[in-house]
Amino acid sequence: MVVEIDVRLREDVHQLGELLGQTISNQYGPAFLEKIERIRKGAKAARGGSLRGERQLSETLDALDESELLPVARAFNHFLNLANIAEEYHRIRRRSADEPVPFEDRVLDEVLARLKAAGHADTRVAEKLAKLDIEIVLTAHPTEVARRTLIQKYEEITEQLAAQDHDDLTPAERRSVQQRLRRLIAEAWHTEEIRRQRPTPVDEAKWGFAVIENSLWYAVPRLLREVDETLLKATGQRLPLEATPIRFASWMGGDRDGNPNVTAAISREVLLLARWMAADLYRRDVDRLAAELSMQQASPELMAEAGDHPEPYRVILKRLRERLRVTRDWAARAVHDPHVSAAGILEDNEALLAPLRLCYESLHACGMGVIADGPLLDCLRRAATFGLFLVRLDIRQDAARHAAALNEITEYLGIGRYAEWDEPQRLHFLENELASRRPLLACDYMPSAETAEVLATCRVIAQAPVASLGSYVISMAGAASDILAVQLLLKESGVRRPMRVVPLFETLDDLDHAGQVIESLLELPSYRERLQGPQEVMIGYSDSAKDAGTLAAAWAQYRAQEALVEICARQGVELVLFHGRGGTVGRGGGPAHEAILSQPPGSVAGHFRVTEQGEMIRFKFGQPDIARQNMNLYLAAVLEATLQPPPVPEAEWRADMDRLAKDSLEAYRGIVRLHPQFVDYFRQATPEQELGRLPLGSRPAKRRQGGIESLRAIPWIFAWTQTRLMLPAWLGWETALIRALERGDGPRLQDMRERWPFFRTRIDMLEMVLAKADGEIARLYDERLVPEQLRALGAELRDLLSQAERAVLRLTGQEELFSHHPQTRAFIAVRNIYLDPLHLLQIELLARSRQAGEATASPLDQALLVSVAGIAAGLRNTG
């Protein structure tokens, strides 16, 4: 079945490609551009099964001079990025009245209609929507390959695509857009793709702030306007003025788990930079409002504040503008001088909201609601959503660091070694110290550097405003004492207010015991007294999948959530689940809307906290209209999952999942942990070693020296994605599904897929990753890079991939993967034409690089890194 890509999208891709070709020709000449075109045509013909095309592709690439490797890699990398831009713009482009509304734009209307049809009262639906608590946590996990400089140019290219998307442009206007596009593409081409140095944590935080400044700052008020209109039309109810159904938090500058570059000083600086950025953004808004609100008539309440003045709104707004200026300037100085005077700064969000609300209510009271509901309403909604602190900063640290600090402290105090105590001994000590009014440590205590850093981070928390901070997340949490340990360290450092201390359960074993840990915690009366709010628990997707494979991990995550929901309900404690999802299926990724609707019943009860990571932040939130669409998906899914949760799985389904998970775990670990050649094969067949040279993020690729277990989940998945084997996302599924089908469980699995959103979503995500996988590409990596004695393992893994594909096709009753998503198949097919040359180039570059030995700054090494970036761009969700 041949599916045509929408003609307008095809025209945009063609136009951008033509302009890129002109740019390349201008630098290297027509002969070089013709060589690029021969490579592209050869790849296209080879994909169609032509041996002649395959030969043409191979011969052209083999004949490249070493000086041509980098520009060829750059050409295909740039084209894939331009294709992404065109595809993203196509999602939000202007549509005529007779065109269907995109799903992302109509989803909330449809959910509200379903909820009403199911008998939910208008007032209840409106109240639940207004009180939704969705927090999207932006993280700096290193899979964003593109430089910020290029991202800005990509955003401008999108703007020009929108500018030309009008039938009534004059020839001069159309030429102007064309010229601007040509310049932007030339600027991008002549800009280095790869950073020369790794970004610092502060650089990462600034990148996150830029996403807010350039996109979310505009997307949030647009979204809330649309939600208000949709809600009014469906229920007759309005969205409350200061409703904040979606907010944002960040790990950028707060995630110190395995990242020695994130220190207490860095976290303090990032908190201040966020205050600076927030004050500057609001100052710009208020400056515009002061220019616009020149009206004289005002309410008595506003006149009492403004005094006898002919332009009372301007009086109120200019005062606020001055306080914002003072706050901004203070934050800039405080980064370098912690003792700078804070006189006159805005300290809490009400001080920002009150004057804006006063102006808004006055305008409505005086019959000027049409003015109030313009930019002033947008500013109010920004103030409610982002507050004075822009994003709440989470702090994350490994449980072992807290235990080591307490071990040092107990040894110093002469009361034993905390590291050697069992859980009851630890809990006894921690509870006593948390209840004690005396300090634990003398003022002259001199900790080691590691313990001093842990305590310094706690002091930064103590000194920061409450509203500027999110949660304290404990990686590799495994016991109730892990949570109390953090609470004690915070208390000792001067924290006298409740702060959410959140255990992160990340391995299969930890997920299986998550319920027991939380139950033992909630049964401590002293802990319940300190809780003063919901119990937040973070579910780790990345490391659990790396530990057990995606099937066993997904079922463990589901069961852990079920246990946590039941325990918290029994204990009378509100539960907030925090989902640590990544961009890929192997890290819990996939379409967020479907993932939310597939969570266990009761686990999405008006609350949903989730990470958005790496390059997915740009893809989902980098453009205002795309950000608005994605936030709309979150809103609709969380509302529906709250009021219309999915069914409780039937007993037979649970038994089937237990068997599938057991078979999958055995198969996955049999390869990844037990096969004696696996680690060697992984490091030879993939660019895992070379990825360590790519200056992606501030965090090291490894937690420590060692094998697969020491490797972080991101480079583990990133490396397999580059070769298109995609192993972490499917390994284990093939064995589990084949055994189930051989047992005759096929009809029941089909029933599960039809009626159980959890199982359907897992199969859909598996099918998506299998559609992007390519065993033939992986074979080419093996033939060039893997020693003869390891190639049998590669052949075995590719055979398992084929088995996974056949099992999914049997289960879904299709002849080819994703036949029910023909547009997606078409997009993958088009991208493959540009990805194939990059894979072949990367294979050759890896071989030459390894032969040369140490990494250098040579064109060859640069070309290798560009190939990595290009493949990541072509496959999009890479890490």
List, for residues 33-49, the tens digit of each pLDDT value. Answer: 999 999 988 888 888 88
- Other Cβ atoms less than 10 A from the Cβ of 151: the count is 18
**Does residue 241 lie within any of the structural domains?**
no
Helices vs. strands in the chain: H and E counts, helices first:
40, 8
Q: Is the dihedral of CA 692, 698, 704, 710 positive or negative?
A: negative
Residues 676-692: what's their mean pLDDT?
A: 91
Distance CA 31, CA 34 (A): 5
Residues 437-457: what's their mean pLDDT?
A: 93
pLDDT digits (tens, 9 = 90+) for 375-431: 999 999 999 999 999 999 999 999 999 999 999 999 999 999 999 999 999 999 999
**Does residue 706 lie within any of the structural domains?**
yes
User: Active-site residue 364, yes or no?
Assistant: no
Please give the tally of structural domains in the chain.
2
Task: Give Cβ neighbours of residue 587 (< 8 Å, ≥ 6 apart).
Answer: 541, 542, 545, 581, 613, 713, 714, 717, 879
Distance CA 428, CA 342 (A): 42
SS3 content of the chain, % helix, strand, coil (to 5): 65, 5, 25
Do the beta carbons of residue 873 and residue 146 sit within 8 Å?
A: yes
Distance CA 663, CA 552 (A): 9
According to DSSP, the residues that pair with 768 across neighbouring strands are none
Instruction: Tell me the residue type at 81.
Output: N
User: Active-site residue 206, yes or no?
Assistant: no
**Does residue 210 lie within any of the structural domains?**
no
Do the beta carbons of residue 79 and residue 20 sit within 8 Å?
A: yes
Q: Which of 146, 14, 187 is nearest to 86 (CA)?
A: 14
**Does residue 759 lie within any of the structural domains?**
yes
**Does residue 306 lie within any of the structural domains?**
yes
Distance CA 853, CA 641 (A): 54
Task: Give Cβ neighbours of residue 270 (< 8 Å, ≥ 6 apart).
Answer: 201, 202, 205, 252, 253, 254, 393
Given a cut of 80, is residue 520 above it in pLDDT?
Answer: yes
Q: Kindly report the three-state secondary structure assignment for every residue of 131-181.
A: CCEEEEEEECCCCCCCCHHHHHHHHHHHHHHHHCCCCCCCHHHHHHHHHHH
What band does 669 get if pLDDT is binned at 50, 70 and 90? very high
Given a cut of 90, is residue 472 above it in pLDDT?
Answer: yes
Given a cut of 50, is residue 90 above it in pLDDT?
Answer: yes
- Other Cβ atoms less than 10 A from the Cβ of 424: the count is 9
Given a cut of 70, is residue 586 above it in pLDDT?
Answer: no
* Block residue for tokens 């919901």: 534
Q: Which of 518, 589, 602, 526 is nearest to 558 (CA)?
A: 602
Residues 758-767: what's their mean pLDDT?
A: 94
567, HSE (Cβ side, Cα atoms, 13 Å) = 22
Q: Contacts for 57-61 with beta carbons within 8 Å, 24 or more apart?
A: 57/836, 57/837, 57/840, 58/840, 60/35, 61/837, 61/840, 61/841, 61/844
What band does 213 get if pLDDT is binned at 50, 70 and 90? very high
- Other Cβ atoms less than 10 A from the Cβ of 194: the count is 18
What band does 707 get if pLDDT is binned at 50, 70 and 90? low
Q: What is the pLDDT of residue 830?
A: 83
Given a cut of 70, is residue 467 above it in pLDDT?
Answer: yes
Distance CA 734, CA 730 (A): 7
Distance CA 777, CA 832 (A): 11
Q: What is the pLDDT of residue 852?
A: 76
Q: What is the pLDDT of residue 277?
A: 97
**Does residue 416 lie within any of the structural domains?**
no
Q: What is the CATH number of the domain that holds 369?
A: 1.20.1440.90
Task: Give Cβ neighbours of residue 20 (< 8 Å, ≥ 6 apart).
Answer: 75, 78, 79, 82, 185, 189
Write the Ramachandran bin of 279: left for phi over 0, alpha for psi from -120 to 50, otherwise beta: alpha
Domain span holding position 700? 649-820
Given a cut of 50, is residue 558 above it in pLDDT?
Answer: yes
Q: What is the pLDDT of residue 60?
A: 87
Task: Give Cβ neighbours of residue 546 (< 8 Å, ≥ 6 apart).
Answer: 586, 708, 713, 716, 717, 728
Q: Which of 138, 406, 388 is nearest to 254 (CA)?
A: 138
- Other Cβ atoms less than 10 A from the Cβ of 825: the count is 18
Mean pLDDT of the chain: 91
Residue 646 DSSP code: P
Q: What is the pLDDT of residue 465?
A: 95
Given a cut of 60, is residue 351 above it in pLDDT?
Answer: yes
Distance CA 713, CA 543 (A): 6
- Angle, helices 624-643 vs 217-235, to 10°: value is 40
**Does residue 66 lie within any of the structural domains?**
no
Distance CA 697, CA 202 (A): 11
Q: Which one of 44, 141, 593, 620 is the catalytic residue?
A: 141
What band does 241 get if pLDDT is binned at 50, 70 and 90? very high
Task: Give Cβ neighbours of residue 568 (< 8 Å, ≥ 6 apart).
Answer: 518, 522, 535, 574, 575
Q: Residue 320 to residues 252, 272, 325, 410, 706: CA-CA distances in angstroms? A: 29, 20, 9, 50, 56
Do the beta carbons of residue 735 and residue 667 sit within 8 Å?
A: yes
Q: What is the pLDDT of residue 745?
A: 95
Given a cut of 80, is residue 513 above it in pLDDT?
Answer: yes
Q: What is the pLDDT of residue 587?
A: 39
Distance CA 106, CA 92 (A): 13
Q: What is the pLDDT of residue 52?
A: 86
Q: What is the pLDDT of residue 541?
A: 87
Q: Which one of 35, 546, 607, 839 is the catalytic residue?
A: 546
Distance CA 193, CA 866 (A): 7
How far is residue 814 CA from its own chain's centroid?
A: 32
Q: What is the pLDDT of residue 101?
A: 86
Distance CA 728, CA 711 (A): 13
Do the beta carbons of residue 553 and residue 585 sit within 8 Å?
A: no
- What is the model's pTM? 0.92
Q: What is the pLDDT of residue 2?
A: 46
Domain boundary among 372, 389, 406: 389
pLDDT digits (tens, 9 = 90+) for 102-120: 889 999 999 999 999 999 9
pLDDT digits (tens, 9 = 90+) for 56-75: 888 888 888 888 888 999 99
Q: What is the pLDDT of residue 664?
A: 98
Q: What is the pLDDT of residue 585?
A: 38
Largest separation between any pair of C-alpha atoms in the chain: 89
> 3-state class of 491 per DSSP?
helix
Alpha helices in 464-600 (DSSP H): 480-492, 508-512, 514-522, 525-531, 542-548, 550-571, 592-597
> 3-state class of 824 per DSSP?
helix
**Does residue 720 lie within any of the structural domains?**
yes
Residues 297-301: what's their mean pLDDT?
A: 97
According to DSSP, the residues that pair with 475 across neighbouring strands are 398
> Among the ranges 87-96, 197-206, 278-287, which has the highest mean pLDDT value?
278-287
Given a cut of 70, is residue 176 above it in pLDDT?
Answer: yes
Q: Please report which helix (H) or strand (E) contains residue 206, including its range.
A: helix 201-211
Q: Strands 607-613 and 535-540: what pairing?
A: unpaired
Distance CA 560, CA 511 (A): 6
Domain boundary among 328, 362, 389: 389
Q: What is the pLDDT of residue 451?
A: 96
pLDDT digits (tens, 9 = 90+) for 125-152: 999 999 999 999 999 754 455 667 787 8
Distance CA 868, CA 838 (A): 8
Domain boundary among 369, 389, 409: 389
Distance CA 732, CA 50 (A): 34
Distance CA 329, CA 29 (A): 51
Residues 12-29: what's their mean pLDDT?
A: 94
- Other Cβ atoms less than 10 A from the Cβ of 262: the count is 30
Q: Which of 611, 560, 605, 571 is nearest to 587 (CA)?
A: 611
